[in-house]
Structure 1
Amino acid sequence: MRIPSLPFDLLASEGSVWTATSAGIEGAAPAGTDLFVDPSGDSGVAAETLLNAHTLLGTPPEGDFTLAAEVTPDFRATFDAGVLLAWVDDTNWAKLCFERSPAGAVMIVSVVTRGVSDDANGFIVDAPEARLRLARVGKVLAFHAHDGADWRFVRAFTLPRVATELSVGFEVQSPTGDGCRASFANIAFERRTVVDLRNGD
């Protein structure tokens, strides 16, 4: 799939459904879709989880960049989410989610996986959409979410080979529900260096 604002093509995971819209793209994930490796070891492994993921990924140009999109999931069940995804291989990846919590709130959530997943809640969003951003600065990745005025820092981390073998893109998930649709609008890619990852500048 080709998006005019991106300087690289995107490839959908097997069986996933993505469509172009006037504002960007939309994904429709069926029930039981997720990308998560339980750190307890009680459920799933990365390879199996990948086969169950609903993703759209491409390889960005070399160097520093940001990828941002306005994400609007339909939020019908717990853990329904629209996601920006950073992918190296099936054991090293990370996602920035706009997700419905078990309490029914919609919030920013991040997951960093190096063999198993490290899951962290961010902040609650009082709106049906959220603007999310992924940045690469050298060997470091950072997640930010916009609060309407400024970019708010969510997480900074690294993954193996992140400077040379990174793919980026989108995911939709519905691990506990009957399915989830999510739109990704105003998709923007910039070849730039975020000077201060902590404040998103």
Structure 2
Amino acid sequence: MSKATIINAPPFVDTILYKNNSNVELYTVNAPSIWLLDDVPSGRVEYSFNQVLGNIFQNYVDAWNGAPFSRYYVNTVFVSLITTVLEIIFASMAAFAFSKLNFWGKNFIFMTFLATMMIPGEVLLVPNYITISKFSWIDSYYALIVPWVISVFAIFLIRQQFMTVPNELWDAAKIDGSSSWRFLWTVMVPLSRPAILTGALLKFVGSWNAFLWV
């Protein structure tokens, strides 16, 4: 390799090495990566390790500053927590009704609920959007929370756990004057914490990863 004398070049060009007028190496200082196509077959820019490392992390900095990602994270955490808490509350009440209370059409209503699980969420995308627009909830937290606080799977999961609780506990609570509401939150829910926590985790992760509004 021979070292060429630089006569006219941009200020970032430091050294040019060539061999048999075919292989050319171009060394620059503080210059962006370039690819020479016109005058020489190839070009190469050498960076120090610190420069490469700085460029890698600078991409993340530029991406973070390019959009309000901090606001996005706050929205995601808020929506995930609220939907999870509300779903567990409503699912626990519905599961208690389907497992311990007696009313007309209980099994039919429960089977109807289960049948809705066979409908893909994508099918409901347009109808849900039309409904939300009728309520003027577009671009609001209501649209991200209200449609997703009811989960048939969570109702099914918690109901199956509630059914394992002996009915004698329910009978004893009624004899002692306990209301259905008190028995649910002081007896049934504490005894069913594994199922409830499982439903809560599934809901939180699903809400966190919900890139599609279904």
* TM-score normalised by L of structure 1: 0.19
Higher fraction of strand: 1
Bigger CA radius of gyration:
2
* TM-score normalised by L of structure 2: 0.18
Higher fraction of helix: 2
Higher relative contact order (CA 8 A, sep 6+): 1
